[in-house]
Structure formats: C-alpha cells, structure tokens
Amino acid sequence: MGMEIRLVHVDRIIDLRHAVLCRGRHRKHAHFEGDAESTTMHIGAMIGKHAVGCLSILDRPFSKEPAWHLNAMAVDPLYQGGGIGRSLLSFAETRLRQIDTYPYVWCNASV
C-alpha cells in the first residue's frame, strides 16, 4: 500500500502528533490552538488509515501582516529520512498557491 499526501481531519493526525511532538505528555497536549478553526488545514501523509507524517496550516499574522503559519509538522521516526517532510511541504505550497490569499508563510521550529 502506497503513501498518499492529502487533507485530513485533525483527528487523523492526533496520535502521530502525540507520539512525536508531545511524547511523555498527556494526549490532550497534541490538540493545538487553532486546530478547529474553519481556515485551518491539516495535511496527512497517510498509508491507508495510518498517519506517518502531518503538517497543519493556520491563518495567523506575521509582523501584523496576513499570513499562513506552518505548524505541528511531524514524521513518524520509522519513516524519517524518506522525503515525507519534503512531500508535506510541497503539498502545502501547492495548496496555498491554489487559494492565493496571503503573500506570507511563516513557521517556527524545534528539533
């Protein structure tokens, strides 16, 4: 079964977020501010029903300018190094170009 990058409901990626981004903390910490907003997009790298990568995009200003915020990107450690992160970012870029609303995209990161 191959991998598919697609828009998903946040519930499809919570387990992955919890395992990768919130390890050792209560599962509720994998739900982030803005997850339920109508403008938020959740992207999953899916193998069947199993999320192996994820990225969320939120409508958040940057330096007081309208912008998209790339947030909560994670890849299952068993699948890291195989280009899933690159594929998620490429999908996000294509999607944002299609809706063409804001000139800026920003993110913050931790390793």
CB atoms under 10 Å from CB of 43, counted, come to 24
Calpha distance 31→22 (Å, rounded): 10
DSSP label of 70: E
pLDDT tens-digit readout, 9-30: 999 999 999 999 998 899 899 9
pLDDT recorded at residue 16? 97
pLDDT recorded at residue 103? 86
Calpha distance 56→74 (Å, rounded): 10
On the question of pLDDT at 5 being above 80, the answer is yes
Residues 19, 76 contacting (CB under 8 angstroms): yes
DSSP label of 65: B
Q: Is 68 helix (H, G, I), strand (E, B) or coil?
A: strand
pLDDT tens-digit readout, 68-83: 999 999 999 999 999 9
